[in-house]
Every structure is written in structure tokens, then in C-alpha cells.
Amino acid sequence: MIPGDSARLPTAPSSPNAKLNLALGALIGLLLGVGYAVVRDRMDRHIRSAEGVEAATGVSVVGSLPLEPKLAKGPRLLPPPGTMGQRGEWTALTETFRGLRTNLQYMSVDDPPRAIVVTSPLPGDGKSFTAANLAITIAASGQPVVLVDGDLRRPRIASLFGLPEGAGLSDVLAGRAEASDVLQPAHDTGNLMVLGAGPVPPNPSEILGSERMRHLVQELSATALVIVDSPPLLPVTDAAVLSTRTDGALVVVSTGKTTYEVLEHALDLLDKANGHPLGIVLNRVPTSGAGAAHYGYQYSGDYYRPTPKRVTTEETAAC
């Protein structure tokens, strides 16, 4: 520019620098996102994996049930033996229950449990669903099973199987009926019998902790495996009391919903009642996305045992 010339307008703005600002914004956003993810991962106390549960509680995870969205709209029970048409869509869930059945059998080869309570820390974790389908799976192997609805506050077993909700457990414990009179067959095979809850009594904890209940469990377990669906551990004491009348309890938790603090509190209540936790069952384990469990099958004898495989960060990056 020659001195005295008129001022010239710039051909491009000197500020803002759009490219530089976009680059800085992307970098800052990336750093904030990574920082948030790290903080959330460190502070998240929800149960995500079997390894985390076993490390935190010292209790073995004996089953991991995959999340099946269709259960919310369709039947909540596995198809009975012989219904080949429905087997394909239930394969993953069927195999995981078979794995749970096998784990129970091998807890003590010489003296496997004969009476099992199925409970959960809080309502909605899937205890009744687990108890019913575990009973179906064990009965399908040819072993006699008696499924008892020990939830005398919100009974569900009879309705799950579509059975009449008349006389049941409360009548037997009150001396108004014999167990043989109120047991109902769930399937045509005859291996699975259901003992409904009966009328809801005013004092469930007292009658479930009675000697009549102990004698009933002993009587039923003499000829069959007894599975008792019980109320959740934290709201009421029924499940803790029932665990002392049986060989132990399976505790069902919801993956991504139940926290470690809640589970530890539930196990502490069992311990204070001198109950024995047989193991923990993870319910609603995702089969895709972060933290998913992929289900493979290893052949062993006459069953396929599901083997959940954790997907690591390195494996995810390689996909």
C-alpha cells in the first residue's frame, strides 16, 4: 500500500476463526465426554457383571438370565416339554435355565439341595419368573418338583400357570387341608406339582416360620425337589424366615437396576436370620451393547450348559 492511498477492506474476517473454533469445540466436547464417562463408570453402583457381584459379596453367581423383551408382552413361562414349535424362540432362555439347574445339582454332589427358596432384594427383580421357570426346567429332566407359592402377601404362581386360586399353602399350615389335597399338576407329564398360596393370612411371617412349615417342607422334599417362591427380602422378613426352613436361598437381582448396597443389605438380612445363600441369579442381562453377555454352549453329557462371555473393551474395539 502506498502512503496516501485509500483504506482497503479485508477479503476475509479476522475474527471469529470458524475452523479454529470448530476444532477447539470438538476437542473440548471429546474431553468432557470422556471425563463424564469415566466419572459415571466409577460412581455407578448398579450391578453390571457376575465378576463384580462375586468380588463384592463373596457369593457365587449361579445363573445369568438374558434380557428377553418379548416376555413383557407374551407368556412368562417356558413352553412345556414336547412343544417343539416354540423351542427356537426360547433357546437362549431355555439353555440358561438348564445351566442354572446343573449348577444347583453340582453345589454338593453327595448332598444336593432338596428345598430351595427363591427370593430377591426388592419387588420387580423377577423372583417368581425365575422360580416358575426353574421348576419347569428341572421337571423337564424327569425329576419330580413341587413349586410352592410362599409369597402370602402378593401370590403369583397360580396365575402364572393358569391354575385355580383356591385352597393352598395357608390352608395346609392352618390345618384346614392336607398338602395332597391342594397340590395341582402344572403339566401333563406329572413331574411338576404346584402348591398355591391360598387365602392371604393376616400373619404371613409367623405361619411361614412355624414348625408346620418345617414339617411340610420335609414331607414334600422326601419325594421331590421343593422350590419356594417367597416375598422380597428387604420389605418383609418372610424370605429370611423361610430360608431357615429350607436348604438355602437363591437371590435374584436385576442387572442395571439392583445396586451393590441393596444386594449386600439383603444378604446381611439372610445372614442375621441364619439363612444360607445358595447363590445369586443375574436377571435381565443384556445380550447387546455395553456390558452385554454373549451366550455360547458347551456340550457336556445330555445338556448344553450356557457359558456367558464378558465382552471386554479390547474386544469391542476390535469388532
pLDDT digits (tens, 9 = 90+) for 32-73: 888 777 776 666 789 999 999 999 999 999 999 988 766 655
Q: How high is the pLDDT of residue 35?
A: 79
CATH fold, domain 50-308, is: Rossmann fold (3.40.50)
pLDDT of residue 311: 38
b/e per residue 19-47 (b: at least 16 CB within 10 A): eeeeeeeeeeeeeeeeeeeeeeeeeeeeb
Rounded alpha-carbon distances, angstroms, from residue 192 to 3, 53, 124, 134, 248:
105, 32, 25, 11, 21
Classify the phi-psi angles of 45: left when phi > 0, otherwise alpha if psi is within -120 to 50, otherwise beta: alpha
Q: C-alpha cell of 232?
A: 422380597
Question: Can you tell me the distance from the alpha carbon of 199 to that of 167, in angstroms, rounded to the nearest whole number?
Answer: 7
- pLDDT, residue 58, reads 94
- Looking at residue 266, its pLDDT comes to 96
Q: Which residues of 211-222 are buried (b: 16+ CB within 10 A; e: fewer)?
A: eebeebbeebbe
Backbone angles phi, psi at 146, to 5 degrees: -115, 120
Cell numbers linked to 110: 453327595
Contacts of 234 (CB under 8 A, 6+ apart): 121, 122, 262, 265, 266, 269
What pLDDT does residue 78 have?
80
184 vs 194: CA distance, rounded Å = 5
Residue bearing cell 474476517: 13
Cα dist. 67→10, 154, 306 in Å?
63, 24, 14
Residue 148: count other Cβ atoms within 10 Å of its Cβ. Answer: 31
Dihedral-angle region of residue 292 (phi above 0 means left; psi in -120 to 50 means alpha; beta otherwise): beta
Judge if pTM exceeds 0.85. no
CA dist., res. 198 & res. 66, Å (int): 32
Q: How many whole angstroms separate alpha carbon 17 and alpha carbon 59? A: 59
Q: Alpha-carbon distance 198 to 218, whole Å? A: 20
Q: Which residues of the chain have pLDDT under 50?
A: 84-86, 294-319
pLDDT at 88: 54
